[in-house]
Structure 1
Amino acid sequence: MILSPAFYERDTITVAKDLLGCLLVHRDGAGTTIGWIVEDEAYLRDDQAAHSFRGETARNRTMFGPAGRAYVYRIYGLHTCVNVVTGPEGAGEAVLIRALEPVAGIDRMRERRGTDDPLALASGPGKLTQALGITMDLDGTSLLDGPLQVWSPESLPGRRPEGSPGEIVRTTRVGITKAADLPLRFYLNGNRYVSRR
């Protein structure tokens, strides 16, 4: 049920769409936390908003591949964000996971987030990493056999995230100033757990 390397090696926009409805899974010493991916954003080669736009650095090295690894970074010195690296090695492309619908380990998510509101647990990139306990030490780890994995939608038979099955909304990305007009944000239509409409 773990997604194969070939899944991530495809076109980044295709991967971003296909990640919706998959499961982000983190196993650590505190147990396992799982959420449906319900919102994400694509960051492409030659994309001024991408960390890779100015070339490879120590901070963004993971983004240049190979595909199927976690690119984890901190913004504003406060919030941790998790991406999946996509495309051919050297492309510098990734998909930011923006929101999850909690599935398992919800009590642990509540403790980490300090809230009982299920809609506030993972409805944003910084919230979801806090809820799942995703930290900077996971940067560069494989999503195939590491503690952080992405599972196919069929991994939980008979269960699906909220919203219209297969109906994806495509719009502009959130919280950026460069390339803000590009429609590279995707979310499941009708899902209450997305960060914003």
Structure 2
Amino acid sequence: MPQHGLRRSWNHCIRALETTHGIMEMTSRRSTSDLRRLCSGPGRLCQALEVDASLNGAQLFKAPFQLFGGKGWPTVAGRIGISVSVEIMWRFGVGGSPFLSCPFPANKTP
């Protein structure tokens, strides 16, 4: 337990993923057959996976979620779509992935 009885809390926002399972259900929910745009961006991802506020605080490595290793090592970049603290490297993804709404710059290591 950390000092003073305080617990550490980390929030993670998965903003895109490569779809490998449940594609028919997700394409129906999103009304698109373009796999690259199916889950590229937080809104699209939530719609495709039926993620709503009832899953707030759910752990990513327990049901109903299943995460699998991807193709490649995650890279890190500055955040996008903001004007403050853009230098903070809190954006992670697989460089060169066609499933990201905004591609990553050249590979960087955390």
TM score, norm. by length of structure 2 = 0.74
CA deviation profile, 1:120-141 (whole Å, cap 9, x unmatched): 1001111111111111111123
Structure 2 distance, partners of 1:188, 1:143, is: 18
How far the C-alpha of 1:114 sits from its partner, in A, is 1.2
Q: Deviations over 1:10-57 (max 9, x none)?
A: xxxxxxxxxxxxxxxxxxxxxxxxxxxxxxxxxxxxxxxxxxxxxxxx
Q: Which residue of 2 aligns with 1:41?
A: none
Q: Using the aligned pairs only, state the percent identity.
A: 33
1:146 corresponding residue in structure 2: 63
Which whole-Å deviations, capped at 9, do the CAs of 1:46-85 have from their partners, x for residues lacking one? Answer: xxxxxxxxxxxxxxxxxxxxxxxxxxxxxxxxxxxxxxxx
Compared CA separation, residues 152 and 114, structure 1 to 2 (3 A): closer
TM-score by length of 1: 0.44
Q: Map of 1:1-197 to 2, 5 A cutoff? A: 90-147=7-64, 149-153=65-69, 160-161=70-71, 165-166=72-73, 168-197=74-103
Runs of 4+ in 1 over 4 A off after TM superposition: none
Aligned to 2:3: none
Output the amino acid matched with 1:151. Answer: L
CA distance in 2: counterparts of 1:190 and 1:95, whole angstroms: 21
Greater RCO, CA 8 A, separation 6+: 1
Question: Alpha carbons of 1:189 and 1:105: their partners in 2 closer, same or farther (altered >3 Å)?
Answer: same
Segments of structure 1 that go 5 or more residues without pairing to the other structure are: 1-88, 154-159
Aligned-partner residue type, residue 136 of structure 1:
A
The one-letter code sitting in structure 2 at the alignment partner of 1:90 is: R
More displaced 10-residue stretch of structure 1: 184-193 or 118-127 = 184-193
Where is the strand percentage greater, Structure 1 or Structure 2? 1
Q: CA deviation at 1:181?
A: 2.0
> Partners in 2 of 1:175 and 1:136 — Cα distance?
23
What is the Cα-based RMSD across aligned positions, in Å? 2.0
Structure 2 unpaired stretches of 5+: 1-5, 104-110
